[in-house]
Chains A and B, each alone.
Chain A
Amino acid sequence: MLRAAMTGAARSLARNAASVQPARTFTIAAVASAGSSSSAAAAHDDEEGGSFARGLFSGRIRESQVFPFPAATILNEEAKSTLQMLVDPCAKFFETVNDPAKNDETASISKEAWDGLKEMGAFGLQVPEELGGLGLTNTGYARLVEIVGMHDLGVGIALGAHQSIGFKGITLFGTKEQKAKYLPKLAAGENIAAFALTEPSSGSDANSIRSRAKLSADGKHWVLNGSKIWISNGGIAEIFTVFAQTQVPDRKTGELKDKVTAFIVERSFGGLTNGKPENKMGIKCSNTAEVYFDDVKIPVENVLGQVGEGFKVAMAILNNGRFGMGAALSGTMKAMLAKSAEHAINRTQFGSKIKEFGMIKEKFAQMALKIYATESMAYTLAANMDRGSNDYQIEAAISKVFASEAAWSVADEALQVMGGIGFMKAAGFERVVRDLRIFRIFEGANEILRMFIALTGIQDAGKDLKEVQAALKSPISNFGVLSQEATKRIKRIVGVGHDTIKGVHPLLRGPAGLVESQATAFGAAVDSLLITHGRKIIDQQLKLKRVADAAIDLYASVAVLSRATHALNSGAATADQEVLLATTFCEDAHRRIRRNIASLNGKTTDGSYARIADSIFEKGSYDISHPIGF
């Protein structure tokens, strides 16, 4: 599946091979930015502000989206106390009413829990209050889904598929009428929503969907045919956000072309059916099913966004929906850590509590570092979205990749600490491990997201670089016309210092220095990649992967520095521990970044890897003579 997905992406990438050019049309299926990539509309997206991660690719440290720690100031006192009041009842519900083991066992959510969730208001966390929801900000949503993630990821997916993507399109793009018609019942949980994009032949490459809607002769309906697979809530939803090809006249030539359009489809329209619930590895209690459309008549007023703009709609929903994952998974990790820490503190082997052993300590330290970074990024992202930033796609992708891999490793190590007990179903670890596995696959496979992180960043760097290169041909006459960005780039290239993190607390100057030097090195490495490969960089997947990994580590480092700085400045009780966590994270990250950058230009086994893989694909198996000859 993954291979198919990657091939799909490569095709899509190739289609848009101009991506390292300043052109703004660059798209990567399923994860690309939704047209807002460089619009830089909001107050925090100005030249010196703007996406922190985007700036990194030009070797810049743009502090304004990270310092001071955005999550610390995003809630006013009233919002804070309201949110605080929501936390307890939500946690109590999951501790007393919902039974994750039973949900897993029966592959369904108990009626009691489902009704409880409805009564609680959990189906409309971000729907405006006047339409029957709780009207929470992204930060508020993140805080509550963290509790869900602590207890039951299956329930989390049912709720997330409903509101984080299922009807997110209505809240983002819906007309006033569409919102008034659909949101109240969706917020009450009376109607469940689903997001229907994926098809058998179209996974990560979302532009290649085959479902098709044709305008009826009288122009009043779109008639939809096709099928979707792996649709979360597909078997229980009443309202679907569906993506299908439509014939749209080209603006210039008038020639009809296939373009994706988004529709709000009600099950009650008729012609919509679903397959039986999929039997999955994890998140079993959430419903996943195929959905079929057989001449479904959709009123024209149910187009979501503009006809032909469906791809943009899909990507905006996915980008917007991604932020909750980091928060949910930080909850999962904290729960895992707490359970295994209890064991480590009490379990005696070889005459000592196992917490005394170095290898056990190492595991817990690494768990804590991963949680600290995941939380720092998730809440920075949510806060930036709350204050109106539109330029957060790279950060959202980074947060998703980091969180899903951190959670996988934390759950795995927590289980390891438990030893044999962890392997037993009753201990509750194996369920979480199974539940977590999907997070690296869905909502943009991590491989695709790495490509997205690297290419989106490189795209901007490429634009600047072109300017720089042109200017360098006749530097004197051109210097005045260079953008500030390009000027700084030239200064850096000729070795006149690098950006510093100004907002960092003096106690964190050491680790901040590591980040600064690596940010500069990273920018230079990106330049060098562009100069060497030009637009063919798209074919250098392993190089792009290292670029993405370095970007992830750099962003995470700055996020933890910002959070620890805030802890120091606000006199937080845990400030000392946070300094230790942030410093250690930056030191570890520094080593990883250095290694990744070094191997961009240095000797690697990438070529050998490709040859080994090719020989496997040729045979379709591991066809090597057996050690004992047969």
Chain B
Amino acid sequence: MSSTAERTPPRKLAGVVVRFAGDSGDGMQVTGDRFTTGSALFGNDLATFPSFPAEIRAPAGTLAGVSAFQVHIADHDILTPGDAPSVLVAMNPAALRANVADLPVGGTVILNADAFDERSLEKAGYEKDPRTDGSLSTYQVHEIPMTSLTIEACKETGAKPRDAERSKNFFALGLVSWLFGRPVEPTLAWIAERYAKAPVVVAANTLAFKAGYHLGETTELFESAYEVPPSVLPPGTYTNVTGNTALAWGLVAAAERAGLPLFLGSYPITPASDLLHELARQKQFGVRTFQAEDEISAAGAALGAAFGGSLAVTTTSGPGVDLKAETIGLAVSLELPLLVIDVQRGGPSTGLPTKTEQSDLLHAMFGRHGEAPVPIVAPRTPAECFDAALEAARLAVTYRTPVFVLTDASLANGAEPWRLPDVDRLPVIEANLTTEPNHVRADGTAELWPYLRDASTLARPWAVPGTPGLEHRIGGLEKADGSGNVSYDPVNHERMVRLRAAKIAGIASALAPVEVDDPSGDARVLVLGWGSTYGALAGAARRIRAGGLSVAHAQLLHLNPFPSNLGEVVRRYERVLVPETNLGQLVRLVRGDFLVDAVSLTKVQGTPFKVGEVEQAVLDLLAGLDDSPVPAAGVPPVVDPEELQ
């Protein structure tokens, strides 16, 4: 046995995927979040995937109560939280059982040995102890009595064992921090600040963290530590941001850049509530948040605020969108700016409240009675949620229309490093409130015709109450083109329906063309996605190219209207693959709009695509081409040899 001094130096890795799993009361989200921040400060690129049950505290020790946090860190720019963990930290048998199948052969398992008593094994549904029945033989298993070591380490604080035991997640964090050479100071500083009101907790968490770290350093449990060197990121100031936070900040930024007060009408719903929480904290920006009595009122109040000249927002998830449909329809008819944020989750009905899905696209597109077109923006990464909020606000204000922003649970809760923009260079949103009459009556008096449109955008005037001389009435009844007076004239109705549709369709002319990533220029297959699948699709394209084959990739940010070059793009390729975490919604729009025989790849498991899944689908498609570049038997998926997986 070698002494510490003679230990193997850290092995260098290009990247690693770590999953922390435990009971939902075990603090796994905090643990993962701290490991992530430590890695960010160290300079790694990263992506995270938190996963937790819908129940706040499912029965302890059961599979239903397992909460997990996966983080992918690397020395290069990465796109996803990783297909599979290479290191699994399991705090109890249920956490092991729920996650171990995801671990590839040779993966590392770090177990809290104290939690593997007979009763816990039984609760997890194990008939035999997996540590001894050979089922873990293909992994490197490290059994560590984390609970008892934590209690021992915390003795000096005077905390009762039952309380001290709760610090075991920091023990695990300390151990894994050592294993991957994470800096210690930021975590200790965070503990001191976060629990400042409870000095005993600060002491216990600090001691537990250090005990875990020292265990790795001084024992022979691990052959060596690993080193994931910093990534080379473009210069700038970075922060680690989740999609929900980025979106909330983007809304604040949009209001600032539009010179309008921000009004949020919302009703608590998973996974969108954090938007309400974050904005409720930002009153110093003049933000007014209204927690309404229901989803309908939340949208209604926002629309009322829009009438009054606020940048109005309502935030929700699928079930809330159902209820807001009539208000969105009214906003279409009133032609007032209204941002509708849908953080999508598994459906139908209550579905999977904490799990991700992209199944509301057609709902956003068509989920209202009558011809009621609404622009749709779908950010592709957590950080891009910030830009998407600004873009959606720009469209809403410029075109006087409700706009959907479709994110999802994986974007909302997932985090990545974000290079902070220069706030003075963010786009300015021209609110262009109307202050002067635009029409003269036969008797010579000037007045406002609320439906007299701007010739280029077809937007109508936005004249807010309080403006003298522009008093007018608007409503959900059909109105006469121009004057806005109630009109049941059939020809006028057709004109108004077509004008509203033309206004939204016309946005396309002002959108940037869709960018296609086709570095070799000779790709025959295009992978077309939207929203949060960006990382998996771009990652699959990278792997295909690493294997010497060509593939093109485009990821839509605007789903209604489509960028004006999209038809040309999809017709340029022999085959178009459309991966979505639904049963094929974008693919219907693409096929319908462009008459191309696009192929759908779908997954509805409440989890994002794995890179490998998309990669295999592309390879299968390539294999089916005439004069295929792929051998008929197919090729095995190419894995990044530098990464530990």
**Do these two chains interact?**
no
Interface of A with B (CB < 8 Å)? none
Binding site for A on B (CB under 8 A): none
